[in-house]
Chains A and B, each alone.
Chain A
Amino acid sequence: MELAPLPKSPEPLLAAWIKWTMDFWESLIHMGPSPGNRAGEMESFWDSALKMWQAFFSLLSEPETVAVLFEGIKTPSETLLRMAQAGWSGYFHLHQLWVEKEVGEWAPLETRGFENLDQDIFKICTETYEKDFRQLMNLSQAGLTRLSQECVNRAMDRFRHFQAAMAEFIYLLYLPLKKSLREMQDLGPEEIDLKDFKEFYRFWLRTLEGHYMTLFKSPEYTRTMSHTLEALEDFTLAKQELLADSLALLNIPSRWEMDELCREIYELKKQLKGLAKQVEKGPLPPDRSPGGGDGGEKG
């Protein structure tokens, strides 16, 4: 059997399918018996349903409507395509940066700072994420679950940010270890007795301690530490927000609600303690109002 050639556009297929559906329902309605009033009611119900179908499908048969419909159907695949493009562009960007670093700089090995090169990977990854992937996390959400989805996306985004900061921080902590081990390898016999392991260990420990002290006093360490802590703070807040969203479904108060409650209790208690002290001391002079203590300083 010879197959009919496939149409290039999906519209004729849709029109054929609509016609077939309408014919099917029409024949189905007329197949059934129609004795008495009840059957007539049924028939009229089916008739009106069929008319609605016909109206709906004739609308669909119009080429403009079909074009709009297919436009809508195409949209998700375009989104996927864009997401894939973002992923690819991120990958290529990362690759490009690596190539620039590794191949582009033809400086002799001795003059290239390998420590810096290693550390640059964190910056490159973060930059790539910020440039390409983060946009996806910040896409505007719609519909009933918009708020929840935004919470999830925010928590994921903050978690990734925290992970990146933590990786950089841990790498920084590893540097003195790496440096001290390298120095121990380069030690000559005149500097240390290699046969005495304990002395060797103590020497290494002192070297390591020295490198750590230098690192800890450096502005770079303080900056990385603050950055990591801030990333942890952001992630903690996003996580709590996400949790609060789930807790609300179970009627359990969120951290912020508890904070508010604790503040009220704190203020009441402070006022009460102030009043109790005043009572213990005796009656108040007429010009002083009771309670309040020193008023407190809230940050």
Chain B
Amino acid sequence: MERPKIPVDLIRAKLAAEAEKATQRLEKAKDIFLGSLDTEIGATPFERVYQEDRVSLKYYRPQAAPRLKTPLLLVHALFNRETLLDLQPDRSVVQALLKEGIELYLVDWGSPGHKDRYLTLDDHLNGYLDNMVEFIHQRHRVSRVNLMGVCLGGTFGVIYAALYPEKVKNLITTVSPTHFNTDKGLLHIWLKEIDADRLVNAFGNLPGNLMNIALLLMNPARLLFDKYVGFLENIDNKEFVENFIRMEKWIFDSPDIPGETLRQLIKDLYQQNLLIKGEMRVGSRRVDLQKVTMPVLNIYGQYDHLVPPEACQRLTATVGSADTEDLCLDTGHVGIYVSARFQRELVPRIAAWLAERDC
């Protein structure tokens, strides 16, 4: 095969021009980095209204007149921080919900330490989460809350709603896996092969950084390479730099995961898929999805490589509720929460869906 002729002169001229541009860019970047940068995350004002051990509850006052009688409780996953929902001022799910006049509570799972190694799913759901729901009931004199879960926080929400259907008015899941026996998501493939007992016995709590490495390895080309190329290309753009650092702060601030909870998550969900089969047990109780009788809105991303659509779609067909809706968005896992477009479109839709069911 004849080798293509490489236009060396053109490439050289282009490189020279690029080098000139890069110098100017770096000059500007120097001023940006030496100046003050606003990289705060989770900046929306809140009140910490409930605390139990390491777990606490953040309360956000609505920015518009309250539109719903029932407050909304947001449950984030244990694997990373709830600040994802309030990453930057102009792209904050929290602020968008507040603007819709929704009274908001956000669970902060805190940072598990050595003492939390033996906490189980039972402790997280029948203990912390149930106590927080009870607290909101008493504070607002309501008998039920609206529950919205993020990623595995949504899976927690589904389990909680099945255990306590009388305490949940409406359930919203966002990119939440409930069917784990799929080979579409890498996490689903990998976790099937992991020996959970060995892992927990060796580490106790799973170090957050180990989880971070696993997440980075899901797409090394983008997450370890292209992301930083993009950063260098925009290094002279202050707003870009600020948002980039905010994202980095969030990504690499993953808490450790309590060992016994992780053991159960891997074994019961990722390896045996017990939840969707109706065979999962939390504490002494079986989780029966037929008991999820409240309205369910199930949102997931079409291009989600972490929680593929296959892992989310079966929920609405399995729960006992007659009022269910699936919403598949053309985005990935994190895009739902950080993309300006989805916040513009999705949050009003969620607010409208809740308002219709707030009687």
Contact = CB atoms under 8 A, between A and B. Distances in A.
Interface of A: 173, 187-189, 194-195, 197, 201, 205, 208-209, 212, 216-217, 222-223, 225-226, 229-230, 232-234, 236-237, 255, 258-259, 262-263, 265-267, 270, 273, 293-299
Interface residues of B, number: 54
Nearest to A198: B233
A223 B118 contact: no
Interface in B1-35: 1, 4-7, 10-11, 14, 18
Contact of B283 (A205, A230, A295): A295
B114 A262 contact: yes
Interface in B220-260: 220-222, 225-226, 229, 260
Contact of B193 (A223, A237, A299): A223
23 contacts: A173-B217, A188-B1, A189-B4, A194-B4, A195-B11, A197-B18, A209-B219, A209-B221, A225-B190, A229-B199, A230-B198, A233-B198, A233-B199, A234-B202, A259-B204, A262-B114, A262-B117, A265-B115, A267-B118, A295-B283, A295-B284, A299-B120, A299-B260
Q: Which 5 A-B pairs have the closest CB atoms?
A: A294-B283, A233-B202, A299-B263, A266-B118, A189-B4
Q: Is the interface of A mostly helix, strand, loop or mixed?
A: helix
B126 interface: yes
Interface of B: 1, 4-7, 10-11, 14, 18, 114-115, 117-123, 126-127, 183, 186, 189-190, 193-204, 217-222, 225-226, 229, 260, 263-264, 267, 281-285
Contacts of B197: 299
A270 B10 contact: no
Contacts of A209: 219, 221-222
A205 B117 contact: no
Contacts of B199: 229, 233
A222 B192 CA distance: 9
A8 to B, nearest CB: 59
A294 B122 CA distance: 8
Contacts of B11: 194-195, 197
A293 B126 contact: yes
Q: Is the interface of B mostly helix, strand, loop or mixed?
A: helix
A258 B114 CA distance: 8
B194 A262 contact: no
A299 B220 contact: no
Contacts of A189: 4-5
A273 B127 contact: yes
B123 A270 contact: yes
A297 B119 contact: no
Contacts of B196: 299
A83 B263 CA distance: 43
A51 B189 CA distance: 81
A1 B189 CA distance: 86
Given A195-B11, A233-B203, A297 B281 contact: yes
Contacts of B203: 233, 236
A299 B195 contact: no
